[in-house]
Structure 1
Amino acid sequence: MTTLSTSQLLIFSGILGLVIGSFLSMLTWRLPRIMMLEEEEQLKEISLGGSKCPQCDATLPWYRLIPLFSWLATKGRCHNCKTKISARYPLIEALTAIITITCMWQFGLTTEGIAATLFSWILIAIFVIDYEHQLILDNLSLPLLWLGLLLNTQTLFATPIDAIWGAAIGYLLLWVVFHSFKLLTGKEGMGYGDFKLLAALGAWFGFIALPQIILIAAVTSILISLIGIMLKTRDRNTLMAFGPFLAIAGWATLFFGPNIF
């Protein structure tokens, strides 16, 4: 049986990442909107299929759907109405390709590498949707949690006991923070989706990784917030999604281990 060389594996990973990234860019655009519709409208929206220009509703031909390169070739405009197409699509595709390559580079074509790649793809979807809508969907966070628990029955990234405690403690930590903050201020500082996402990360990396994950997420969120305020790109009173920073902490733990500090 022929095995792939490192360069062949990374090239294949990049191409696969672009394809999956194209799917994720569509999924993260449609899924939150579909979830807000009534059941009949959901089925209608899903059945429509096909990628269309959101402005003129023109169906995009297959050669306009090549990840990243189609957007670059058209200079980010619809081929029919010339309306600008958001850069979110090539950015998600490029991000997915880079992270997929990184997973294969670090773990290789192994069980850990495949698991890390699946973990990253789901996390990208959570990252984008929470960034754009301040919403972490159970449809994504709960499968991520259960996948982590199931994989760690084989001690892939943590022992089974550590994974179970990681999921339980991860949820309870933010649950306590949420209710303490609400009791003191009368305001809700985060959503229940954050609890489930931290529980999922605990299920993947065990309870020992939770302090590191929370620290990285908190520090990066504060830094980004301060930079935004200084650059006057955001108001200090505007709520900011915490999920993307938990995702960043999750990737840091995946690639550098649970003992960075």
Structure 2
Amino acid sequence: MSYWILLTVFAFLLGAVIGSFLNVCIHRLPLGESIVFPASRCPACGTKIRPWDNIPLLSFLLLRGKCRACKAAISFRYPLVELLNGLLALALFLKFGPTATFFVLLVFCSALVAITFIDLDHQLIPDVISLPGIVVGFAASFFLPWLGWLNSLIGILLGGGSLLAVAYLYQLLTKKEGMGGGDIKLLAMMGAFLGWRAVPFIIFAGSLVGSIIGVTLMLAQKKDGKLAIPFGPFLAFGAILYIFYGRQLIHWYLNIGFR
């Protein structure tokens, strides 16, 4: 029992450490900067962050949310990303245990966390995450019996192709671009990691939640329907929902429909 507890703690800490790296990606990738060099620095004063001031979650608490050198406030998003990724890693471990599936889906979900925050800030989904993600997801399918390479390949084609068709049809009817290429590549990556059966669920769940939040924001801000909301975070929500509850929700929906 104690061994299992140690593994669960390790899973959370692993996710939090990866979350610390994701903070670097979230900040630097939209700026076109290297995620390796230079070492982490305070964005306010440029002071290099010491290793003991860069411990996920703990350092933020010990420093009381301020830079040691200049006392500038540290964005609360940093510990939020670390905590979120740690909790995702813990949930994945509790569901899948110490298996290849756990590690593959941890990579996938960590990429979704980075994409979500980048898209929220910049309405941008970096190709440097989604395109390699497609390759990694497809490569991993050869080692995951529940996925399989054909399922993954169809997922890539269906994921990217479905949104590409929607974007083309929207542009044809309205003469306006309604969906960025980043969303298309993101859904292709999701299909690579989760297979083609996940794609319709992700689109439905993402569209439903996005519509609810979009309408709520427009009513709250009294907008005229032209409020721009990134779709990537809602697709990410749909993908994570599918990982943990997708099959149960599909089974429940089908049972309701055929009663």
TM-aligned CA distance change 1:245 to 1:157, over 3 Å: farther
* 1:14 aligns to 2:3 (yes or no): no
Alpha-carbon separation, structure 2, partners of 1:76 and 1:29: 18
Paired residues in the alignment total 250
1:258 Cα deviation (Å)? Answer: 4.5
Contact 2:25 2:35 in 1 (8 A): no
Give the SS at the match of 1:153: coil
Offset of residue 197 of structure 1: 1.0
The amino acid across from 2:13 in the alignment is I
CA distance in 2, matches of 1:48, 1:168: 35
Cα distance change, pair 91–47 in 1 and its aligned pair in 2 (3 A): closer
For the residue of structure 2 that corresponds to 1:139, the secondary structure is helix
Q: Residue 160 in 1 paired to residue 158 in 2?
A: no
Give the alignment partner of residue 80 of structure 1, picking from 48, 64, 69. 69
| Structure-2 change in CA distance of 1:142 and 1:98 (3 Å) | same
Q: How far, CA to CA, are the matches of 1:101 and 1:47 in structure 2? A: 26
**Is the aligned partner of 1:54 residue 2:54?**
no
Among candidates 126, 144, 159, match of residue 137 of structure 1 = 126
Aligned to 1:106: 95
Instruction: Using the TM superposition, name which of 204-213 and 21-30 deviates more.
Output: 204-213
Corresponding position of 2:254: none
1:219 equivalent in alignment to 2:208: yes
Give the drift of 1:77.
1.8
- Tell me the equivalent position of 1:38: none
Q: Which runs of 4+ in 1 moved over 6 A?
A: none
Shift of 1:248: 0.9
Cα distance between partner residues in 1 of 2:249 and 2:115: 24
Paired residue type of 2:207: A
Cα distance between partner residues in 1 of 2:141 and 2:61: 41
Unaligned 5+ runs, structure 2:
251-259
**Secondary structure of the equivalent of 1:145?**
helix
- Distance, in Å, in 1 between the alignment partners of 2:52 and 2:224 is 41
Question: Which residue number corresponds to residue 111 of structure 2?
Answer: 122
Identity %: 35
TM-score normalised to structure 1 length: 0.88
Q: Could you state the TM-score of these two structures normalised by the residue count of structure 2?
A: 0.88
Cα 1:4–1:139 change in 2 (3 A) is: farther
Q: Quote the offset at 1:57 in angstroms.
A: 1.4
The farther-off stretch of 86-95 and 124-133 is 124-133
**Aligned residue number for residue 63 of structure 1:** 52
The answer (yes or no) to whether the contact 1:208–1:258 under 8 Å persists in 2 is: no
Amino acid at match of 2:12: G
Matched, 1:240 2:234: no
Matches of 1:164 and 1:151, distance apart in 2: 11
Give 2:191's aligned residue.
202
Counterpart amino acid of 1:118? V
Q: Which runs of 5+ in 1 are unaligned?
A: 35-41
Indicate yes or no: 2:217 matched with 1:228.
yes
1:177 Cα deviation from its structure 2 partner: 0.7
CA contact 1:212–1:258 (8 Å) conserved in 2: no
Contact (CA 8 Å) 1:149, 1:164: kept in 2 or not? yes
Secondary structure, aligned partner of 2:221: coil
CA drift at 1:247: 0.8
Is 2:172 the counterpart of 1:174?
no
